[in-house]
Amino acid sequence: MATKKADEKLTATAQAEEAAEAVDTAANTKAAKTAKAAKSTKATAKKEPVKKAATKKAAVKPAAKKADKDTEKAPAKKKAAAKTAAKTTKAAKTSTAKKTAKAKKSEDDIDVLVDGNLVIVESPAKAKTIMKYLGPGFDVIASMGHIRDLPKSKLGVDVDNNFEPQYIPIKGKEELVRILKKKAKASKTVYLATDPDREGEAISWHLAHLLDLDLNAVNRITFNEITKTGVRYGMDHPRTIDIDLVNAQQARRILDRIVGYKISPFLWRKIKRGLSAGRVQSVAVRLIVDRENEIRAFITEEYWSIDAKLLGKESTKQIPAKLYGKDKKLDIKTGEEANAILEELKGVKYLVENVKKSVRKKSPAPPFTTSTMQQEASRKLGFQARRTMKAAQELYEGIDVKDMGAVGLITYMRTDSLRISEEAQQQAEEFITGKYGKDYLPQARRQYKSKNNSQDAHEAVRPTMPSLTPDEAKESLSSDQYKLYKLIWERFIASQMATALLDTVAVDIRAGEYLFKASGYSVKFDGFTVLYEEGKDEESEEGGALPAMEIGDELSLKELLPNQHFTQPPARFTEASLIKTLEENGIGRPSTYAPTITTILARNYVERDAKVLKPTPLGEVTTQLMEEQFKNIVDVTFTANMEHDLDSVETGDADWVKTLHKFYDDFAATLENAEKNMDGTRMKVPEEESDVDCELCGRRMVIKSGRFGKFLACPGFPECKNTKKIVQETEGNCPKCGSKMLAKKSQKGRVFYGCSGYPNCDFITWDLPLKENCPDCDATLFKKTGKMGKIYCAKENCDYERGLKD
């Protein structure tokens, strides 16, 4: 019974829609009641004078006066009510008439190309760019993404009938559907040109059903790049809809719907309302929670190192060397051990025992896949995955470039392939030769191998016109578009360039019984590094060039330094490292990384602290429940195998219905057991206590989350309803009154800084207060970022300022 009730539970979204419908119903009911009341009042008004006349003589004088007064008021009230009802009725008729007229007008205003060619894409920007290349005889329109989907208010999947999905037109797209149908009916040929991936294939399939098109017609076209060449190639190579791709998308969509709509109501009852579970998001949260548990369980250990700063015979350049040990590497655990070694090293000679020189080759990183693009944009640009994909989508769909018109600047941005077309390689070679010379070309064209689980449906992410440099396109691009285009362009061009050569040297230095090691390098040929080098999550400690040394040289000791260290726990995930881990474990696919991270942040399972991701108490409790009751859903290996099974559907090697049965039959039993295991049990999310006391009742306030982020609330609710904003003190003081400055957040989440003396002092600014004081007046300095960035004094009558790099 519990399971049955859980199946019937609506999701939060569905309930919101249901509430909206209830409001509409209530409004209609109210209008109806108003009209009914008006009719009733009118009828009473006709009868009332007779009734009053009959009872007038029997009434005493005061009562008679009151009756006369009420009689005078009644007609006015009745008249007002009747007037209101009339207005309501008239307004309803007018609204209906307007809607009918608007519908008729919109029908008449739809421009159709009779016996022409209709091309349906997904976005208006893409439609505009493609139209430029197709010319007369073609009409291009956007479907605005999916046109049909599963209903939001219920599961929409018949699990007892081979997972038959119930697709319905998406609410709000009725007008668009009408336009599409009219245009399709008038056209000679309808081309389905949605994005070249699973989602795009499914959208084309839904459009074919909605517009009554032949599912076997050769009318499916794809564009890997939105350029003249790319569009022409796509139009010249139409095909039928790939039903394997469609089924792969259906299987993923239905599987995600089952997991979300079956587990989410369970989480509502056992933890709190509004929670959701997801096949990929639950694993992502688990990874973050597991990392946090590793950090908590980590036991810090002390260790020491000893560094020597040495000088050669004829060089004043220092040679940094590290103590290696004696015959084998030495681990120094304590300061006492380090001091004992320092005593042994007193007065010893430092002699060069061995010098090993070599040439190290450094190859360029391959061009971007979706995953590596998101990682590098996070490292180098500070972009969140969602921001990266937004800019990439715009670059792919088309930009109005000066003197060129609308053109797509990059290839399709959702890919896990490293394949590059010969044409693109040829264009890159021409640019490299012209800019840097033939020496910067590799001996043979580079071929990058994609990973085993790569679908290889598209090329890697690359510029469509390698000859168009970022500086040439900059004027036509937004800030985000320019930064990302520059990153993609440099990465691609560098990937086609020659290997960099480094002269390396490794030196062994004998000091008594101990051995020190020094290493360094110098650039022999910069190769691809003249343009671009890949960012790293952790920087290496490789040194620079060393002065010339020969075996037997005696070095003089300038300084010997003991250094205390402590082992560090594993670092929390950044967006870049989380995406890398998901990809390495086969969790999710290129299109899922950005929405997964967005979802777990929006659901408050995870929060962003500076650039790292850490779990919230809610995320930890939810993950604990999922691990206890739905172990497979949050198991990395199980989820990776599920991804592999779904990919097999895409390649035609597996049946999508059988794949879903393989998952669902065990899942249904797991869900039923979870209901039994937790019958009558509810998990509590621990509240994070602050160091602020409630000024109304004295309790220690707790931190809660709301629509606009975190806030302080009294734990004595509902007896005490006190709440307040969380404020954080910053460096520096207010330039107006000298009080402390506080960091606050606007309703849109943007950080600003205000005086703690508000409302007595109204000083606020977007600019960061610094610890540094003004050299002229000793007031706090502020840092303004952006193109007009500077450091300045905000105190009245003080004009001190300087550039950010000064």
CB 361 within 8 A of CB 524: no
Query: How far, in Å, CA of 558 to CA of 508, rounded?
Result: 18
Structure tokens at 268: 């509502």
Query: How far, in Å, CA of 123 to CA of 115, rounded?
Result: 24
Helix (H, G, I), strand (E, B) or coil at 44: helix
256, 367, 444, 503, 533 from 497: Cα distances, Å: 43, 12, 10, 19, 12
**Is the previous residue joined to 364 through a cis bond, with omega within 30 degrees of 0?**
no
> The sheet that has 700-706: what strands, in order across it?
688-693, 700-706, 709-713, 723-725
207-220 burial, b at 16+ Cβ within 10 Å, e below that, comes to bbebbebeeeeebb
Query: How far, in Å, CA of 392 to CA of 469, rounded?
Result: 16
Question: Using the 8-state DSSP alphabet, how is residue 294 labeled?
Answer: H
585-605 burial, b at 16+ Cβ within 10 Å, e below that, comes to ebbbbbbbbbbbbebbbebbb
CB 117 within 8 A of CB 238: no
For the chain, helix (H) and strand (E) counts, in that order, are 20, 30
Helix (H) or strand (E) holding 141: strand 138-142
Beta carbons within 8 Å of 595's beta carbon, 6+ residues apart: 386
CB 464 within 8 A of CB 487: no
CB 369 within 8 A of CB 488: no
Helix (H) or strand (E) holding 677: helix 656-677
Query: How far, in Å, CA of 706 to CA of 692, rounded?
Result: 18
Beta carbons within 8 Å of 10's beta carbon, 6+ residues apart: 18, 153, 154, 265
Beta carbons within 8 Å of 198's beta carbon, 6+ residues apart: 245, 246, 248, 249, 252, 650
Quickly list H helices, 315-368: 335-344
- Residue ranges of E strands in 263-382: 302-311, 318-325, 350-362
Q: Torsions phi, psi of 582, nearest 5? A: -60, -45
How many angstroms separate the most distant Cα atoms in the chain?
A: 137
Query: How far, in Å, CA of 203 to CA of 355, rounded?
Result: 64
730, 761, 774, 790 from 794: Cα distances, Å: 16, 14, 9, 12
Question: Catalytic pick from 133, 191, 412, 514?
Answer: 412
For residue 783, the Cα-to-chain-centroid distance in whole angstroms is 28
Helix (H, G, I), strand (E, B) or coil at 219: coil
CB 395 within 8 A of CB 129: no
Question: Using the 8-state DSSP alphabet, how is residue 586 labeled?
Answer: T
Q: Is 800 a catalytic site residue?
A: no
Q: SS3 for 168-215, per residue?
A: EECCCCHHHHHHHHHHHHHCCEEEECCCCCHHHHHHHHHHHHHCCCCC
End-to-end CA distance of the chain: 72
Looking at residue 766, its amino acid is: W
The per-residue DSSP string of 255-281 comes to: HHHHHHHHHHHHHHHHT-TT----TTH
The per-residue DSSP string of 474-502 comes to: GGGS-HHHHHHHHHHHHHHHHHTSPPEEE
The residues annotated as belonging to the active site are 412
